[in-house]
């Protein structure tokens, strides 16, 4: 792979200097809830599951039952999977554990695909030795006239169990805990509540449309939660950063139920670095304590100062630094002019036009869904094609659940009409059409599609993906459809990444021996598919690196020769439809001309099933994906312009991992 001189070393320097060198204790003191920040999402699951296991074993040793308050949603699934592993591999027993779940939709049958009863049994209870009579979940099928009594019974059951020892929580975008929406009082108990519009929008994907999301729910109250002897609350992803800061550093507010946790003596927030991004200790630690100035922290501080003052970087003065508590940064560089120049040059060095991008290299672009490639990196893809690279786009999942049923009807109708008009005379077309029409006519929201419908939806997305990369100058042979097994549940919620998923990715890496791979580093994907695909890729790379190391010590010459064939590729992370890398975090910034951005948007247009109204748009953003992309890429370029660097029409951002 041919890069411009110094690229590899610059990338290594960037990796070594990301983030503040130490946590500011004064900044951390602004946090009114104890907050543990971990590097990786999976580390949260291990830490929290370990704490729960310790409690269970302590209670068991004392002849007592552990009473757990449990939550649903995508965030705690990792905790439950780790508890299942500990039960299976380490003998952790749930025989003497009593559980109380936070909430349930209303009305909701326990056997519904959307019910939290079903969620808990599928994701935890069915895999451990818990007694059915020890499981308590609010009954969403209670007749309306009996709901108040059911809530009183639930509170009494908690009291009879001796109270909750440890309550597990997630946090919604409104700051709700359980279904305690804005306006919930600190004295509230288990009750029927109306769901906030934001909460219903968040749940829309699970229900295949907001119109199908229940408008009410049964939930433990704030007072019920605060009665727990210990509380653990979880948050992951960039999209939770704002509400995490509000809950942890803001004033107690009835409009943000999570702020009531500040009044609890034993609450711990477990979050990843993405969710911690807005906390003062990470966002602006220099405002509250002495910091050790690394190059990366200096860039962040000067960019922040430029944005605060509305001045270009090279125009910042000693007075600007002093008035914003950055005199120590000037002292480190010797003068404001030197500080300005150094940061200006560091930002400028991130810009990579076509001449500074890889040429004649073997490249794999891993796309979690069949449109993430063109949405996230359509601009650089075109440049890489022009640079004569050998590119394969590996679509990791079918994306078939994100196709509307009406699209299926349209394509089947096309087949029927073609069969009739061209007199193809195949009975298979009529039989297929009948099965599809009959199923769709009786389908209820959330029902798993029959195999025929799943296949049609998969093929729709595959043909769109091919059309998209052809727009950028590639041919159909560049597309590989991996169809990883973890995704093939037919439901919104997916299985965990398993050996079969990793094996498929590993086989592709072994076959193509890429020098560079692109991976989705976006953690705001509504259902975690991007994160899970990233896990499969990293596990495959690590397996190959380990195998490579073992082969190098092998005695057989043939094995030793094979060992030299795989070299771990460089990994560039892109972000998807929901977020973009800030210019301070990006390793490379790739400029796009007006024509290149237009071509990228045309490639996005080829994904017709996702246009106009995508099934899973995410992020409470009513704009289409192409509109978000256009605004985001232009804003990245505009940010550099405001900082005083060269003016470009649009830009994509990448981080070397």
Question: What residues act catalytically?
Answer: 181
What are the structure tokens assigned to 381, written together?
């893809």
Q: Beta-carbon neighbour count of residue 151 at 10 Å?
A: 22
State how far the Cα of 610 lies from the Cα of 590, in Å rounded to an integer: 26
- Beta bridge pairs of residue 574: 520
Identify which of 101, 247, 103 has the alpha carbon closest to the alpha carbon of residue 164.
Answer: 101
State how far the Cα of 14 lies from the Cα of 573, in Å rounded to an integer: 14
Q: Residue 488 has what DSSP assignment?
A: T
Do the beta carbons of residue 98 and residue 68 sit within 8 Å? yes
**DSSP codes of every residue in 50-66:** HHHHHHHHHHHHTT--E
Distance of CA 452 to CAs 207, 429, 464, Å? 21, 12, 19
State how far the Cα of 244 lies from the Cα of 198, in Å rounded to an integer: 16
Cβ-in-10-Å burial (0-12, 13-18, 19+) of 637 comes to: buried
List strands edge to edge, sheet with 191-194. 103-106, 216-219, 191-194
State how far the Cα of 526 lies from the Cα of 83, in Å rounded to an integer: 24
Q: 642 Cβ partners below 8 Å, 6+ apart?
A: 306, 307, 312
The H or E element containing residue 362 is strand 362-367
Do the beta carbons of residue 412 and residue 436 sit within 8 Å? yes
Identify which of 651, 525, 654 has the alpha carbon closest to the alpha carbon of residue 593.
Answer: 651
State how far the Cα of 357 lies from the Cα of 383, in Å rounded to an integer: 8
Q: Any alpha helices (H) in 494-624, and if so which ranges?
A: 499-512, 529-552, 557-563, 594-605
State how far the Cα of 533 lies from the Cα of 398, in Å rounded to an integer: 12
């Amino acid at each position: 792979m041919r890069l411009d001189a110094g690229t590899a070393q610059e990338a290594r320097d960037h990796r070594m200097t990301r983030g503040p060198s130490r946590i500011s204790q004064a900044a951390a003191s602004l946090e009114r809830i104890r907050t543990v920040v971990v590097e990786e999402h999976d580390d949260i699951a291990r830490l929290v599951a370990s704490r729960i296991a310790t409690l269970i074993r302590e209670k068991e040793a004392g002849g007592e039952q552990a009473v757990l308050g449990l939550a649903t949603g995508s965030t705690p699934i990792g905790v439950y999977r780790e508890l299942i592993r500990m039960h299976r591999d380490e003998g952790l027993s749930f025989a003497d554990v009593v559980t109380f779940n936070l909430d349930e939709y209303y009305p909701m049958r326990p056997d519904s695909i959307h019910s939290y009863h079903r969620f808990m049994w599928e994701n935890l209870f069915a895999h451990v030795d818990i007694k059915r009579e020890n499981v308590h979940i609010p009954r969403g099928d209670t007749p309306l006239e009996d709901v108040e009594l059911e809530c009183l019974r639930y509170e009494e059951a908690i009291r009879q169990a001796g109270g909750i020892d440890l309550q597990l929580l997630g946090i919604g975008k409104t700051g709700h805990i359980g279904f305690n929406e804005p306006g919930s009082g600190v004295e509230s108990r288990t009750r029927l509540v109306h769901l906030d519009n934001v909460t219903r929008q968040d749940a829309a994907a699970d229900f295949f449309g907001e119109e199908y999301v229940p408008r009410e729910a049964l939930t433990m109250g704030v007072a019920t939660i605060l009665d727990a002897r210990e509380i653990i609350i979880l948050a992951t992803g960039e999209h939770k950063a704002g509400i995490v800061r509000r809950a942890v550093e803001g004033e107690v507010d009835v409009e943000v139920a999570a702020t009531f946790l500040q009044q609890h003596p034993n609450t711990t927030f477990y979050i990843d670095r993405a969710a911690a991004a807005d906390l003062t200790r990470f966002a602006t630690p220099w405002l509250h304590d002495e910091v050790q100035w690394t190059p990366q922290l200096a860039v962040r501080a000067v960019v922040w100062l430029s944005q605060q003052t509305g001045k270009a970087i090279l125009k910042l003065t000693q007075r600007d630094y002093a008035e914003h508590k950055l005199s120590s940064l000037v002292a480190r560089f010797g003068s404001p002019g030197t500080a300005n120049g150094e940061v200006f040059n560091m930002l400028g060095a991130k810009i990579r036009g076509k001449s500074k991008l890889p040429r004649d290299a073997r490249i794999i672009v891993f796309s979690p869904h069949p449109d993430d490639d063109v949405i996230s990196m359509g601009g650089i893809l075109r440049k890489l094609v022009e640079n004569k690279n050998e590119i394969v786009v590996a679509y990791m999942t079918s994306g078939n659940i994100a196709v509307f049923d009406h699209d299926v009807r349209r394509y089947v109708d096309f087949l029927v009409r073609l069969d009739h008009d061209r007199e193809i005379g195949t009975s298979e077309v009529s039989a297929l059409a009948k099965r599809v029409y009959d199923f769709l006519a009786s389908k209820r929201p959330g029902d798993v599609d029959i195999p025929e419908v799943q296949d049609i939806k998969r093929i729709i997305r595959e043909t769109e993906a091919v059309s998209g990369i052809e727009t950028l100058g590639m041919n159909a042979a560049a597309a590989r459809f991996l169809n990883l097994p973890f995704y093939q549940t037919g439901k919104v919620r997916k299985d965990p990444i398993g050996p079969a998923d990793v094996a498929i990715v590993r086989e592709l890496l072994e076959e193509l021996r890429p020098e560079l791979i692109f991976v989705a580093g976006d953690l705001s994907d509504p259902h975690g598919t991007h994160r899970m695909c990233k896990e499969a890729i990293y596990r495959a790379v690590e397996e190959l690196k380990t195998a490579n190391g073992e082969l190098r010590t092998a005695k057989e010459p043939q094995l030793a020769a094979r060992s030299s064939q795989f070299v771990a590729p460089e990994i560039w992370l892109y972000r998807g439809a929901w977020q973009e890398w800030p210019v301070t975090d990006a390793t490379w910034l790739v400029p796009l001309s007006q024509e290149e951005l237009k071509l990228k948007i045309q490639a996005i247009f080829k994904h017709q099933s996702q246009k106009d109204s995508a099934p899973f748009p995410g992020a409470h953003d009513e704009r289409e994906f192409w509109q978000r992309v256009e605004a985001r890429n232009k804003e990245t370029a505009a940010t550099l312009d405001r900082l005083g660097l060269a003016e470009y029409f649009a830009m994509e951002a990448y981080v070397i991992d």
